[in-house]
Amino acid sequence: MPIDLLKTANTTWHSVHAYAIAHKIIAAIAVIAIIGGGYYVHNVFTSSSTTIKYITTTVATGTVAATMSETGQVSASSNISIQSKSSGEVLSLSVTAGQHVSEGAVIAYLDPTTAQQNVTSAQQSLQSAQISLETLQQNLAQAHENGYADVSTAFLNLSSVIDGLDTVLHGNTVAGHKNEQNINAYSNMAGSPMNIVQFRLATENAYQIAKDSYTKALADFKATPRTSDDATIGALVNETYRAVADLSDALRTSTNFLDSVRTTLIAQNVTLPSTLADNTATLVGYTATTNGYVATLSSDAVSVASTGRTLTDMQTDVDTLSIQSGKLSVQIKRDALAQAKQALADTVVRAPFSGTVAAIAVQQYQTIGSGTAVATMVSDNQNVNISVNEVDASKLKVGQKATITFDALPDISIVGTVSSVNTIGTVSSDVVSYAATITFDTSNPDVKVGMSATVNIVIGIATGLVVPSSAVKTSGSANYALVFDPPLTTDSSSTSGTATTQTPNKVTVTTGLAGDTDTIITSGLTEGEQIVSKTTTGSSSSSSSKTSSGNSRPGGGMMMEL
């Protein structure tokens, strides 16, 4: 008889349902068992296996650069006022505002007349000193038995010179200024510019030296009888010569002072006091008299020969006194000539650097003094000014190289150099910052002052064993790397890595400079070793073989960097 399946199933269902109602606890346990078994069977057939994969690299020698990135604004490296180093009338201006000039280009010409006169005077003084020195050297072998007589004559006639010089400088004979000494009166009448003040101080100093030298020599002369031995007479001659030379220098310096006063007063259209010409003439006469005694005493500077003394002895005495004094005088005059020539050169005002003339501060035919602003210039060279925190400031050093890029000019990159780091910080909201300047190595006309810039500064470069920074792990205070020894035979350097049952060794390492992506290893590894740069885990389903890097996908596995 055929079985009615539908009827049978229905009967069975009613029987189970009735049993479940009557035995609820047993029924619940049975349902749970059925569901758990089904889940287990499903996992058996659909479970995935997890595999660790290694990405490796080889330890090799290389170079690591550490950089620091900061932002700032472009500014001009120099914006200065060009000042005249000389004084005089502006004869011509060679540039206009807005004009670009090169370093050393002429900005203005000043009247060189006075400066040229000073050069001529300095040349004459040098020639006089050289002649005096040559005269001393030529007369080394001459006897000076007439030395005492020449000294006596010198003191007899030069007493009026030293007194007369004192009267010219310290008398009270300048009309309208008789309450002042002449030297101060002349200086004040000229307005006491820097060059006049310097001449006045030099004159006063030279006079005091001459007076002290003359007084000492005169006292020694009075204490030395004509019958003294040759060595004493020779010393007296040398001492007197030095005193007369000092007096000659004082007269020359005083004359130069009066000449400078005269030139300044003429330039200022001031009426010259009558005493100025008289005093100058007096000094010229004194100079002629004194120079005569300089020449006479220079020939007497050879020590008087005494029994047993050789010519070498005499030359030694003279060299230590007269010759040295003569050489010193020549050097002083040579220095004075160099200064006068520099003053003449300073009558031409030049650009100190390449740049643009922003403004002209003087006019043609205007009379200016030393220190007067002639023009304002902005240099071609540019900077980026940045502000860094105290941690980064400790890494900055003058001379470090940098790459500069600009927000407004994405296609332009300029190399620069750290030119200054402020050692004094500023505090704002309890944060300390330090100013630093990066100077362009080359200029670019497209870069404008005020533009925003990013500066990548190379704060360190080191060469050694290099590994990716990701290969260096940390455990507590120690660093380590994972090393395969022996190395894996399969290609494990690809980005997907390779799976292996071999376990890498944990090796402690010491690190050096760390760059943006790589790190120097100073100990622990050797060149050529295979190390783990990264590890990944991958899962593969029995129903799908798809993988992804860092993102799970339906029906697929996951690739995760550890």
Separation of alpha carbons 134 and 55, rounded Å: 89
Domain coordinates in residue numbering, the chain: 5-47, 53-64+464-561, 84-105+352-378, 113-345, 379-459
Q: What per-residue confidence (pLDDT) applies to 364?
A: 92
CATH architecture of 379-459: Beta Barrel (2.40)
Indicate the residue type of 246.
Answer: D
Q: What per-residue confidence (pLDDT) applies to 374?
A: 92
DSSP label of 444: -
Distance of CA 458 to the CA centre of its chain: 20
Pairing of strands 373-379, 79-83: antiparallel
386 forms bridges with which residues in the sheet? 72, 436
Residues 6+ positions from 304 with CB-CB distance below 8 Å: 143, 144, 145, 147, 229, 230, 231, 233, 234
Separation of alpha carbons 45 and 543, rounded Å: 9
User: Would you say 107 and 357 are in contact if contact means Cβ atoms under 8 Å apart?
Assistant: yes
| Residue 56 CB neighbour total at 10 angstroms | 26
Q: Where are the alpha helices (DSSP H) in 358-479?
A: 390-393
At 55, is the secondary structure helix, strand, or coil? strand
Indicate the residue type of 8.
Answer: T
DSSP label of 471: G
Same fold, 53-64+464-561 and 84-105+352-378: no
Q: Any idea which residue has 């009735």 for tokens?
A: 18
**pLDDT tens digit at each of 562 positions of the chain:** 455 555 655 666 566 566 656 666 666 676 676 676 665 555 545 545 567 888 889 999 999 988 888 999 888 766 788 999 999 999 999 999 988 888 899 999 999 999 999 999 999 999 998 888 777 666 553 445 677 888 888 888 888 899 999 999 999 999 888 899 989 988 888 888 888 889 899 999 999 999 999 999 999 989 988 887 767 877 888 888 899 899 999 999 999 999 999 999 898 898 899 899 899 999 998 898 888 888 888 777 654 433 333 434 444 455 556 777 888 888 999 999 999 999 999 999 998 888 889 899 999 999 999 999 999 988 777 889 899 988 888 889 999 999 999 999 999 999 999 988 998 989 988 889 999 999 888 878 788 888 899 999 998 889 999 999 999 999 888 999 999 888 887 766 667 778 888 889 899 999 999 888 899 999 999 999 989 988 887 654 443 333 333 333 333 333 333 3
Residue in 135, 185, 471 with CA at minimum distance from that of residue 293: 135
DSSP string, 293-333: HHHHHHHT-SPPP-TT--HHHHHHHHIIIIIHHHHHHHHHH
Q: What per-residue confidence (pLDDT) applies to 355?
A: 82
Q: What per-residue confidence (pLDDT) applies to 305?
A: 37
Chosen CATH of 53-64+464-561 out of 2.60.120.260, 3.20.20.10, 3.30.70.60, 2.40.420.20 = 2.40.420.20
The secondary structure element, H or E, covering residue 65 is strand 60-76
Output the six-digit token pair for 423.
């050692």
Residue in 537, 507, 129 with CA at minimum distance from that of residue 325: 129
- 123-163 confidence digits (pLDDT tens): 999 999 888 877 766 655 344 567 788 888 888 888 889 99
User: Would you say 92 and 485 are in contact if contact means Cβ atoms under 8 Å apart?
Assistant: no
Q: What per-residue confidence (pLDDT) applies to 457?
A: 92
Q: Where are the alpha helices (DSSP H) in 400-529?
A: none
Indicate the residue type of 287.
Answer: T
Q: What angle do CA 108, 111, 114 make, to 5 degrees?
A: 140
Q: How far is CA 246 from CA 36, 212, 213, 460, in A?
A: 124, 10, 7, 63
**Is the domain covering 84-105+352-378 a CATH 3.40.50.1100 domain?**
no
Q: What per-residue confidence (pLDDT) applies to 6?
A: 56
Residue in 86, 49, 114 with CA at minimum distance from that of residue 362: 86
User: Would you say 485 and 503 are in contact if contact means Cβ atoms under 8 Å apart?
Assistant: no
Q: How far is CA 149 from CA 209, 227, 353, in A?
A: 25, 12, 63
The secondary structure element, H or E, covering residue 213 is helix 194-223
Packing angle, helices 274-299 and 147-170, rounded to 10: 160
Separation of alpha carbons 264 and 42, rounded Å: 114
